[in-house]
C-alpha cells in the first residue's frame, strides 16, 4: 500500500518527496467520491473535500511559483478575485461547477509535480519574498528550505483535514482509501 513516503537521497530530494507526498494524500482522500460527496460539509467546519482540494492546489501552485522565482517574488496563480478569496479561505464556493473528484485528483497531481520540480532544482539557501498576507505578518524573506518545510507542514495539516472529512462522508479511513486507490483489497489478506 503506497502510504509511506518513498526513500530519499539528499536534502532537496527529501523536501520535494515529502511535499509531494502530502499533496498526494489529499488527492487520495478524494478517490471514488461523487460530485455531491466532494461538496458535502460533513463536520462542524465549513470545509468540503472539494474546497480543501482547491485550497491545496492554490497554495501549492503559489509555492512552486515563489520557489522557482527565488530570489524574486514569483507570481500568484491565475484566479479571479472571487476564486482567489474562496480558495485561499477554503470557502464552500471554492468548488467549481465542473469539479469532480477525478478532475481535482489530476490537478492535485499536477500541482504536486510542479512543486516537487521547483524544489528539486532550487537552492535551499536562496531567499524569496513573502507575499503581503496577514498570516506572514512580520516576515519579509524566507529561504527555500524554510518555505519547503512550511509547505510540508501546511499540506500535512490539510491531509489530516482530508482524512477527517473523508471518514465523515463514508467512514473510509486513510489506510483503506490508500489501498483502494492503489487497486488493492482492504483489509489486506491475513488481517
- Give the tens place of pLDDT for each residue, 139-166: 778 899 999 999 999 999 999 999 999 9
Answer yes or no: is pLDDT of 74 > 90: no
| Secondary structure element (H or E) that encloses residue 129, with its range | strand 127-129
Q: What is the pLDDT of residue 130?
A: 73
- Indicate the pLDDT class of residue 114, thresholds 50, 70 and 90: very high
Residue 22: Cβ within 10 Å count: 25
pLDDT of residue 73: 80
pTM for this predicted structure: 0.94
Distance CA 176, CA 179 (A): 5
**pLDDT of res. 2:** 58
- Cα–Cα distance, 161 to 184 (Å, whole number): 24
> Does residue 133 have a pLDDT over 80?
no
* Pair 134, 78: CB distance under 8 Å: no
Helix H or strand E encompassing 167 = helix 144-170
b vs e for 104-127, b when ≥16 Cβ sit within 10 Å of the residue's Cβ?
bbebbeebbebbbebbeebebebe
Task: Give the pLDDT band (50/70/90) at residue 181.
Answer: very high
What's the pLDDT at 137? 75
Q: Report, as an integer, the average pLDDT of 116-129.
A: 93
- Count CB neighbours of 29 within 10 A: 31
Share of the chain above pLDDT 90, in %: 79
Half-sphere exposure of 77 (CA within 13 A, CB side): 20
- The CATH T-level fold of domain 11-181 is 1.20.120
Question: Average model confidence (pLDDT) for the chain?
Answer: 92
pLDDT for 36-72, tens place per residue? 999 999 999 889 999 999 999 999 999 999 999 988 8
Amino acid at each position: 500500500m503506497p502510504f509511506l513516503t518513498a526513500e530519499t537521497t539528499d536534502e532537496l530530494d527529501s523536501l520535494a518527496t515529502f511535499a509531494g507526498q502530502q499533496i498526494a494524500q489529499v488527492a487520495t482522500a478524494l478517490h471514488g467520491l461523487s460530485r455531491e460527496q466532494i461538496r458535502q460539509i460533513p463536520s462542524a467546519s465549513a470545509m468540503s473535500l472539494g474546497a480543501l482540494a482547491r485550497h491545496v492546489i492554490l497554495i501549492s501552485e503559489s509555492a512552486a511559483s515563489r520557489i522557482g522565482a527565488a530570489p524574486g517574488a514569483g507570481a500568484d496563480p491565475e484566479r479571479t478575485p472571487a476564486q482567489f478569496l474562496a480558495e485561499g479561505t477554503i470557502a464552500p464556493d471554492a468548488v467549481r461547477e465542473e469539479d469532480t473528484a477525478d478532475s481535482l485528483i489530476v490537478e492535485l497531481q499536477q500541482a504536486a509535480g510542479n512543486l516537487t520540480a521547483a524544489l528539486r532544482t532550487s537552492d535551499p539557501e536562496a531567499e524569496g519574498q513573502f507575499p503581503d498576507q496577514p498570516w506572514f505578518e512580520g516576515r519579509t524573506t524566507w529561504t527555500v528550505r524554510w518555505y519547503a518545510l512550511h509547505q510540508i507542514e501546511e499540506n500535512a495539516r490539510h491531509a489530516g483535514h482530508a482524512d477527517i472529512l473523508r471518514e465523515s462522508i463514508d467512514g473510509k479511513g486513510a489506510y483503506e482509501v490508500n489501498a483502494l486507490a492503489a487497486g488493492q483489497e482492504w483489509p489486506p489478506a491475513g488481517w
